[in-house]
Amino acid sequence: MTTLYLARHGQTTDNVAQIMQGQRQGQLTPEGESQIGILADNLANVRFDAFVSSDLRRAIDSCSIIARRHDMEVLTTPLLRERDWGDFTGRYIPDLKGLDFPDNVEKIDDMLHRAEEFLLWISDNYPYQTVLAMGHGIINKAIQAVYHHKPISSIPRMLNAEYRILNL
């Protein structure tokens, strides 16, 4: 059995400004760095075999803070990228209320498929190991939806620097 610690990156400047980040790189705020520092402290006694992150900067930076405490490197994968918000990317979130999604927003089914691919990739590459995976709010919900065989809407939102454990 693989033990997956699925985590969300720390607070970013776009989170604070209510900007739809999507697949933008993102920059941790000082608060976000502090949040991840606390998470690293909480996970200091866990023996991780690997650290895997989304290939977006905000997740890599978050994962690296924790991995350094364990003297380990971070492997990145686009499978953990946040949902692609297409033309909504970079826009002020309150301005988007009531608007129809543009055609270039990543479909939920496509994201769920990517989440399933990620879980299979972790299981295949890290059997019987403990892995911390640093992702984003919505892709993490998709991963949990696939894992629990539930609709994505039924998965509680993850806060910045929160983690959940999945036994694969």
Quick: pLDDT tens for 129-144.
999 999 999 999 999 9
- Distance (Å, rounded) from C-alpha 81 to C-alpha 136? 7
Over the chain, what is the mean pLDDT?
97
Q: Are 157 and 138 in contact (CB under 8 A)?
A: no
Domain 3-167, CATH 3.40.50.1240 — does that match?
Answer: yes
136 classed as catalytic: no
Beta pairing partners, 132: 5, 51
Domain edges within the chain: 3-167
Q: Is the full-model pTM beyond 0.85?
A: yes
The pLDDT value given to residue 79: 98
Task: Identify the pLDDT of residue 72.
Answer: 97
- Cβ atoms of 9 and 161 within 8 Å: the answer is yes
Q: What is the mean pLDDT of residues 116-136?
A: 98
Out of 82, 113, 116, 149, the active site residue is 82
**Residue 33: active-site member:** no
